[in-house]
Every structure is written in structure tokens, then in C-alpha cells.
């Protein structure tokens, strides 16, 4: 573990890494996504302060054929390929892989700010240094089939080498499938068959047609199929379409690896070319542990550790996730023993080689015992502490230990005050714990009681590794009836303080509070997923939303859910939870759903995001409409979902219950905004598909749907024209009609039909359109324009002609004919 920066040294005293039995089994680098996709307006540029390695070039590689590479990027990529990755870089990948939030360095986990997460977009090239880490730690699978002429990895390479080839990795999550894919593609880069590696997003459609492949040349693409769900499944014809994908890949000398699951592949594999999905053999836990340990510590005594009977029993049969949780524990114990040995050798000379050997053996046994204890959450030791012989632990003592574990790194005075508050909460005391005087045990007594020690800066430290994590898990398992009260207290801990504990005269920094909130969110997520209970996450979301959606805790809650929704181990439950919350008429829960649907989850599982947004919209809560509007704009960028998304918006505009809230705002999101690359063309009319786009992607909204949306939006036009969505929409559409001749007839026809309404509403809508268009011609800060005046006159003439037809029909045929025509039109 890299050393904490000097400006925080001494403040954070506990290193946090979830133990295997306690931790949620997050996917490891063996099931990692290196494509993190925040909303465009949320992207931040952050300095890498905790890693000493050089600049990364993954987003700078030239997309052109390699016969004309950009020199600097090419040289940097070659340097990274020839130099081994730093131990810090390897550790960063490992921690990101397990999704552990170590939350040391005041919340900046090693690698959190690193560029492995590809923050720009879903299709950015995979970083060269990230691939170098994969190359270093990847353990190749073995096959029990002795008749195989070569290894499974070599056979997969043979399938991928020909231009246009496609390989399906048909494995369950957390089985090394993603790392295997990157290792294969990295080998193709090394052989010069491809120049870079890119992930592909599947999109919101059930199909992935050949036309959706990017136009890059000599690339290796990785496509993960979204898991099946009620209401959304990958098309049964996917396998039969791989041949056509191969033809498209071959045109640009590309290769493709597809990740799927066994049950899904059985359904969609019909018609797939032979040898597409190979048996890749089995990856042994010992091999994974060996590669990771030596990559981070070349001198690590692998043979002694992995040959130990206790460690063998631990790792045999472990999943890759479990292995990546165990190896840091081994490294920590080994490094701690090395430091102690170095200190001893500097003070006292060894009497003999035999004594030194005995010390090393004893030290190794102690190290292994500590690792085994951590993996059992120190349950026996914690039981002995909670139930000591000859006495009874007080509630305050137990809560002081629990609070110190939660508030790791906070000043001891703050921990003391919060322990008293937790005691009042859990015991439902009418009178507070008397900690202000000298009745209750003091800080020194409580520190000794929980077997911790105070550092010079006033923080607490436990000597046993991961004792604090285990203490929290012990409480959770030991006191099931106190969980609800504990969760309520836990959710409020980052909120209650103003930055200073006045009684204890302690200051809590903003960064420390954010780190605390991150830890609490991880606790809630771990418990929610493991126990399949919504309450832990609900408590966090509702409390932090009530604190303020514009405050810094709310984005942490959204990011927590968004990250969990795209990682294989937690995704199935979190997807179900989001669907359930979308039905609940709770502003906090529904807003969390909407914001997650605009993040990584929405980009990776767009079809599922649409279903959840539809449920939220049907509830019509006014507090959520603004977020829903933003979600519509974000998802519209995916051309494969536009047809479905536009249909939803039109349905909302036609629903009397929500048309004046959800309908108006979501249609305005598409009608009153322009695509940044299109100048002044409304988002809903902008066509940014390629000439050979698939039918689902080459969507052009039907006039009937546009008319429905415009009628709903024009109902907003009551009162004077000005800075309203309807005004901005009319200005934008008329500007587009003036500047884009191909759109002129569509725009004028849509607007005239939107106000061609029978009954008392017709004159209101026509007057609203006339008034707004007149202000468009000339108004405040809008000088008169002859071109705009002529277009406005043309629109007015069309409206007058429609009105004249209606009046003529009423005079000749009576009102019954008008009612009949309107009924037939409906």
C-alpha cells in the first residue's frame, strides 16, 4: 500500500479492506470494467497525487491505421509495453477490481483518481498501462483434457488471429472472463494484429446489428451482452448474426470478443459459426494468488505461504474475487513482519542462524493465523471481548468499540461523543449518557477497554488487522433487532455535525466527512446485497436526500448505486431494487433511480434504464420531473433507444394525469434543446446517424407524435411570452426552419397541426403560437429581422387557412360534421 501523503499522516489510523466472509463479493479485475462513464457535465479533471507512474495515454492513442501513428502517443504506448507496471498501479487495479473503498488518505483510495476508469466515454481505448497490469497478473486457464494439442488460451488466440474473427467467452460472472478477454486482446496488440483495444456498449435495442460496429481500423473490440430481465432480453438471433458481424469486422481488419453467460448463450447461440465459443478451461486459485502476490511484491515467499496447509484450505475453491480479497491480507502481514524484523535486526544481533530461522518460522505462523482470523471476522476473539469471564461489558463500552470502528480516523473526543449518542439511540434512553461530567468512564478508560491506543494526534488505532471491520460485522450479526436503529444513526452521522464538535473542541474536516459517508454507504450496500434487504440503502438515500440534493452527500449515494448497478456481483440485486424503487411514490427513491439511469447503468443497460424511467414518469411526482428531463436528454444520445424513448414521451404527453408535468417537461427536453454539434437544430429533429445505420438507429420522429408533444407544450403558454420552455422551443424551431431548408416544411406542418384543434382549446393554442412567434420576430434583445418576419407571415397564413376551412365547414355542414371529423381523426 502506498504511503499516505504527509498532510494527512496520523489522521487515518485504520486500513480498511473488506474481509472475504464479511465483504460483498464484488467482481475483481477478473470481472472489471475499465470504462466508467459519468454524465458529460459531471466529468472532472483530477490530478493523480498518489501514484508515481508516468502519464497515461489510453485516451490519446491515434484512431487512424498504425502506419501513420501520432509519434508521442506511439512512443509512450511502446514504453508502457516494455516496462513492467509499478506495484502501485497493480494495487490500484486490484482494488478497483474488488470495488473495495479502502478510504485511506481521507477518502482517496489508491487508484481512485487514476485513469484506469476511462472517464471520457464508453468507447475510449483501454489504457495501455491498464493492459500492462493485466499482462503481469493474468493467470492462464488450464485444461484437464490431455488430448488437447495446445492450451485453451493458445486455442482462443488461434480463433482471434484471422481478420474479422469473433470469439464468445461463455462464462458466468466472476470467473475471469473479462480479464481473459483483455489478456487475449493485449496479445493481439503485442503481435501487431491490432493497434488498440476498445469496449463496446450494447445499446438499448435487443439487437446488435453489424452496422453498429465503429469505423475504426485494426481494433480489438470487447462487447458484454446485458443480462436478461423480464421485459428485456438479447434477441434469440444474436448467434446467427455473428457471421454478418464478422464480415463487417473483416472490412477494417478488426476482431471482437463477446462476453455472455451460460444460460444466455444456450438461448441465443443458434446459428453461431462453429468454434465461436471455446471451452477455456479452469483457472486455479493458487495460480491467481501467485501472479498477484509476485506482481506486487517480487520477493514475496509464495512457496512458504501457499504451501501452508491452512492457506491451502483457505484458497482452494475460492472465486477470483475471494482471492483478490485474500492476497492484500497476505501482503500486509508479510510487510508488517518484514518491518518488525528490520527493526529487531537494527537493535539486537542474532545469536545464531538457528535462532533467526526459528524467529522467521514463528513469524510466518503468526502471520497466517492473523489472515485466518481476519477471514473469520475475528469472531472468536470478539466474542471473548464482548463476553469476558467474570464481568459484563457495559452498553457504552460496546458502543464505543462500534463507534470507533465506524469513525475510524476521527479524533477520539468526537468518537466519545458519538458513542454516547449511539448508546442513547440503541437503548432508547430517556436521559442521555452522562458523558459531560465524570460519571461515565472517560476517553482513556474506554480506549483501554476496547484494546486500542491513542495516537499523538488524538486518533485511535487497533493493532489487530481489520479488527474494526470485524467489530461492525459482529454487531450486525449479534444484534439483529438493533439494526434498524443503528442504520438510522449511521445515515445521520455524516449529516449532524457542522464541522466542529463543540463540547469536545474537535474539528472534523469536509474530506473526512466525505470519507466517512463513503464507508457508511459501502456498509449499507454490502448488507443490502448480502441479505437481499432494501432498508440499509433506503435509509442512506432518504436521509441524504432530505439533507439536500444539492449537498455533497447526495452525489455519493447516487455514485454508490451506479457503481453497484454495473458490477456483476451486486448488479442483479441492485437492478431489482431500482425497479422496485421506481414504483414507489417516494421522491428520494425515485430521484435516485432517475439519476442512476443517467449514469453508467443507463449507458450500459439502456433498455433496463428505459423501463425504470417509464415507471418513475408514470408516478408523476413533481419533485422528480427535473431529473427525469435530464435523463431523457442523456439517453437520447443512444440512437438505438430513440424510437422507444420518443414513444414513451408521446404517451406521457397524452396522459391527462401527467401531461402537464412529466409530459411537458420531457417533450421540452427534446424540443427546446439543441444538439451541441448541430448548431440550432432541435434535439428531437437532429439526425446524427451514419448513412448505413440500422433501422432502429435511423429514427425520425413521426409528425403525429411531434404534434401531440407540441399541443402539450403549448398549454404551458399562459401569460406573457418570455423565458419559458415553450418560448425557447418555438424560437429554436423557427430558427431551424430559417437556417435548415430541408426541415422547413416539417416544422411548419408540425406547428400548424399542433394548434388545429376543435373546440374551445383551439383558439388558445393558436393565440399562444402567434404570440410566441411574434416575439421571435422582434422582442426584447431581439432586433427586427425581415427573414424572420417573412417566415412568421408564412406560418400565420397557414394558420389562417386552416381556420378558414374550419369556419367554412361549420357554416355549410354544422357542428356535427366537425365532431365526426375529430372523432375519426382520434
- Listed residue (608, 573, 535, 517) closest to 233, CA to CA: 608
pLDDT of residue 385: 92
- Listed residue (96, 227, 234, 97) closest to 172, CA to CA: 227
**Per mean pLDDT, which range of 346-355, 412-421, 642-651, 664-673 is the poorest?**
346-355
Letter string b/e over residues 595-615, b meaning 16 or more CB atoms within 10 A of that residue's CB: bbbbbbbbbbbbbbbbbbbbb
pLDDT of residue 734: 95
677 pLDDT exceeds 80? no
689 pLDDT tier (thresholds 50, 70, 90): low
Determine the Cα–Cα distance for residues 776 and 734; give it in Å rounded to an integer. 8
pLDDT tens track for 614-638: 999 999 898 999 899 999 998 898 8
| 417 touches 503 (CB < 8 A) | yes
99 pLDDT exceeds 60? no
pLDDT of residue 758: 82
Q: Does residue 436 or residue 704 have the better pLDDT?
A: 704
567 pLDDT exceeds 80? no
pLDDT of residue 822: 46
Beta bridge partners of 506: 501
Numbers of helices and strands, H then E, in the chain? 34, 8
| 260 touches 271 (CB < 8 A) | no
Cell of 641: 433507444
184 pLDDT tier (thresholds 50, 70, 90): very high
**Per mean pLDDT, which range of 160-169, 351-360, 790-799 is the poorest?**
351-360
Determine the Cα–Cα distance for residues 723 and 682; give it in Å rounded to an integer. 17
pLDDT of residue 6: 31
Position of cell 436521509?
A: 543
Q: Classify 797 as helix, strand or coil.
A: helix
8 pLDDT exceeds 90? no
Distance, CA of 790 to chain centre: 50
788 pLDDT exceeds 60? yes
Percent of the chain with pLDDT over 90: 35
Q: Does residue 584 or residue 125 have the better pLDDT?
A: 584
38 pLDDT tier (thresholds 50, 70, 90): very low
Mean pLDDT of the chain: 78
Determine the Cα–Cα distance for residues 12 and 380; give it in Å rounded to an integer. 27
Determine the Cα–Cα distance for residues 711 and 671; give it in Å rounded to an integer. 12
> β-strand 166-170 against 460-461: which pairing, if any?
unpaired
HSE-CB for 810 with a 13 A CA cutoff: 11
Residue 207 has φ and ψ, to the nearest 5°, of: -110, 155
110 pLDDT exceeds 50? no
Residue 331 contacts by C-beta under 8 Å, 6 or more apart in sequence? 293, 296, 297, 300
Strand runs (DSSP E) across 74-180, as ranges? Answer: 166-170
123 pLDDT tier (thresholds 50, 70, 90): low
358 pLDDT tier (thresholds 50, 70, 90): very low
pLDDT tens track for 731-762: 999 999 999 999 999 999 999 999 998 888 88
Indicate the helix (H) or strand (E) that contains 307: none
| 204 touches 640 (CB < 8 A) | yes
Q: What is the DSSP string of 186-201?
A: HHHHHTTS-SEEEEE-
Residue 621 has φ and ψ, to the nearest 5°, of: -70, 125
Distance, CA of 512 to chain centre: 23
Q: Does residue 51 or residue 746 have the better pLDDT?
A: 746
Mean pLDDT across 694-720: 81
Helices 587-597 and 553-564, interaxial angle, to 10°? 60
pLDDT of residue 61: 30
12 pLDDT exceeds 60? no
78 pLDDT tier (thresholds 50, 70, 90): low
pLDDT tens track for 192-205: 999 999 988 887 77
817 pLDDT exceeds 60? no
Mean pLDDT across 402-424: 88
Determine the Cα–Cα distance for residues 826 and 820; give it in Å rounded to an integer. 10
**Per mean pLDDT, which range of 77-91, 125-139, 161-175, 408-422 is the poorest?**
77-91
Amino acid at each position: 500500500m502506498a504511503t499516505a501523503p504527509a498532510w494527512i499522516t496520523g489522521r487515518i489510523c485504520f486500513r480498511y479492506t473488506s474481509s472475504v466472509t464479511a465483504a460483498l463479493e464484488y467482481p475483481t479485475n477478473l470481472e472489471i470494467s475499465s470504462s466508467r462513464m459519468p454524465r458529460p457535465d459531471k466529468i472532472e479533471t483530477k490530478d493523480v497525487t498518489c501514484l508515481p507512474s508516468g502519464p497515461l495515454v489510453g485516451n490519446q492513442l491515434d484512431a487512424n491505421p498504425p502506419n501513420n501513428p501520432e509519434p508521442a502517443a506511439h512512443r509512450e504506448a511502446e514504453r508502457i509495453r516494455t516496462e513492467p507496471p509499478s506495484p502501485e498501479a497493480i494495487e490500484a487495479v486490484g482494488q478497483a477490481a474488488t470495488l473495495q473503498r479502502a478510504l485511506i488518505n481521507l477518502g482517496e483510495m489508491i487508484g481512485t483518481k487514476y485513469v484506469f476508469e476511462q472517464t471520457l466515454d464508453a468507447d475510449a481505448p483501454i489504457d495501455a498501462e491498464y493492459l500492462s497490469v493485466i499482462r503481469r497478473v493474468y493467470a492462464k486457464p488450464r485444461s484437464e483434457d490431455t488430448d488437447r494439442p495446445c492450451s485453451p488460451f493458445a486455442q482462443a488466440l488461434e480463433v482471434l488471429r484471422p481478420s474479422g474473427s469473433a470469439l464468445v467467452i461463455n462464462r458466468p460472472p466472476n470467473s475471469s472472463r473479462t480479464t481473459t478477454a483483455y489478456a487475449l486482446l493485449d496479445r493481439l496488440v503485442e503481435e501487431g494484429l491490432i493497434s488498440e483495444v476498445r469496449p463496446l456498449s450494447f445499446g438499448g435495442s435487443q439487437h446488435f446489428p453489424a452496422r453498429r460496429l465503429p469505423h475504426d481500423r485494426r481494433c480489438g473490440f470487447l462487447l458484454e451482452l446485458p443480462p436478461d430481465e423480464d421485459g428485456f432480453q438479447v434477441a434469440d438471433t444474436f448467434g446467427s448474426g455473428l457471421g454478418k458481424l464478422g464480415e463487417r469486422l473483416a472490412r477494417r481488419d478488426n476482431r471482437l470478443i463477446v462476453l455472455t453467460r451460460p444460460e444466455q448463450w444456450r438461448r441465443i447461440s443458434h446459428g453461431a459459426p462453429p468454434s465461436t465459443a471455446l471451452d477455456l478451461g479452469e483457472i486455479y486459485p493458487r495460480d491467481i494468488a501467485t501472479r498477484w502476490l509476485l506482481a506486487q511484491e517480487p520477493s514475496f515467499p509464495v512457496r512458504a505461504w501457499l504451501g501452508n496447509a491452512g492457506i491451502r484450505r483457505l484458497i482452494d475453491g475460492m472465486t477470483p474475487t475471494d482471492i483478490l480479497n485474500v492476497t492484500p491480507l497476505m501482503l500486509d502481514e508479510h510487510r508488517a513482519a518484514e518491518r518488525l524484523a528490520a527493526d529487531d535486526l537494527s537493535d539486537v544481533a542474532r545469536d545464531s542462524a538457528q535462532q533467526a530461522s526459528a524467529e522467521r518460522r514463528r513469524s510466518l505462523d503468526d502471520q497466517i493465523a492473523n489472515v485466518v482470523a481476519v477471514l473469520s471476522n475475528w469472531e472468536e476473539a470478539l466474542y471473548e471481548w464482548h463476553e469476558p469471564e467474570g464481568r459484563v461489558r457495559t452498553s457504552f463500552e460496546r458502543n464505543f468499540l462500534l463507534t470507533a470502528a465506524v469513525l475510524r480516523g476521527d479524533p477520539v473526543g468526537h468518537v466519545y461523543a458519538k458513542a454516547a449518542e449511539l448508546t442513547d439511540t440503541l437503548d432508547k434512553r430517556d436521559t442521555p449518557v452522562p458523558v459531560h461530567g465524570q460519571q461515565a468512564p472517560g476517553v482513556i478508560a474506554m480506549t483501554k477497554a476496547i484494546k486500542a491506543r491513542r495516537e499523538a494526534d488524538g486518533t485511535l488505532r487497533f493493532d489487530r488487522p481489520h479488527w474494526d471491520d470485524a467489530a461492525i460485522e459482529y454487531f450486525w450479526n449479534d444484534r439483529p433487532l438493533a439494526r434498524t436503529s443503528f442504520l438510522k444513526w449511521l445515515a445521520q452521522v455524516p449529516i449532524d455535525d457542522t464541522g466542529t464538535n463543540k463540547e469536545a473542541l474537535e474539528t472534523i474536516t469536509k474530506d473526512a466527512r466525505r470519507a466517512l459517508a463513503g464507508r457508511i454507504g459501502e456498509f449499507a450496500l454490502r448488507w443490502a446485497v448480502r441479505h437481499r434487504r432494501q432498508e440499509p440503502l433506503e435509509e442512506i438515500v432518504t436521509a441524504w436526500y432530505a439533507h439536500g440534493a444539492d449537498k455533497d452527500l447526495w452525489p455519493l449515494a447516487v455514485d454508490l448505486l451506479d457503481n453497484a448497478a454495473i458490477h456483476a456481483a451486486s448488479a442483479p440485486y441492485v437492478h431489482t431494487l431500482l425497479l422496485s424503487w421506481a414504483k414507489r411514490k417516494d421522491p428520494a427513491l425515485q430521484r435516485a433511480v432517475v439519476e442512476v439511469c443517467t449514469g453508467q447503468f443507463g449507458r450500459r443497460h439502456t433498455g433496463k434504464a428505459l423501463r425504470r424511467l417509464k415507471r418513475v414518469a408514470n408516478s408523476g411526482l413533481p419533485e422528480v420531473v427535473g431529473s427525469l428531463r435530464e435523463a431523457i436528454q442523456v439517453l437520447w444520445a443512444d440512437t438505438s433507444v430513440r424510437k422507444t424513448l420518443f414513444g414513451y414521451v408521446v404517451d406521457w404527453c397524452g396522459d391527462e394525469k401527467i401531461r402537464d408535468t412529466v409530459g411537458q417537461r420531457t417533450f421540452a427536453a427534446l424540443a427546446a434543446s439543441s444538439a451541441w454539434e448541430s448548431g440550432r437544430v432541435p434535439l428531437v429533429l437532429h439526425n446524427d446517424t451514419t448513412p448505413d445505420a440500422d433501422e432502429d438507429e435511423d429514427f425520425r420522429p413521426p409528425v403525429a407524435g411531434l404534434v401531440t408533444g407540441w399541443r402539450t407544450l403549448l398549454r404551458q403558454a399562459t401569460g406573457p411570452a418570455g423565458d419559458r420552455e415553450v418560448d425557447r422551443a418555438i424560437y429554436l424551431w423557427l430558427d431551424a426552419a430559417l437556417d435548415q431548408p430541408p426541415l422547413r416544411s416539417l416544422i411548419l406542418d408540425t406547428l400548424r397541426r399542433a394548434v388545429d384543434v376543435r373546440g374551445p382549446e383551439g383558439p388558445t393554442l393558436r393565440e399562444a403560437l402567434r404570440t410566441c412567434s411574434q416575439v421571435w420576430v422582434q422582442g426584447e434583445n431581439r432586433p427586427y429581422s425581415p427573414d424572420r418576419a417573412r417566415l412568421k407571415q408564412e406560418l400565420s397564413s397557414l394558420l389562417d387557412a386552416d381556420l378558414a376551412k374550419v369556419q367554412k365547414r361549420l357554416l355549410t355542414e354544422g357542428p356535427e360534421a366537425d365532431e365526426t371529423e375529430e372523432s375519426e381523426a382520434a
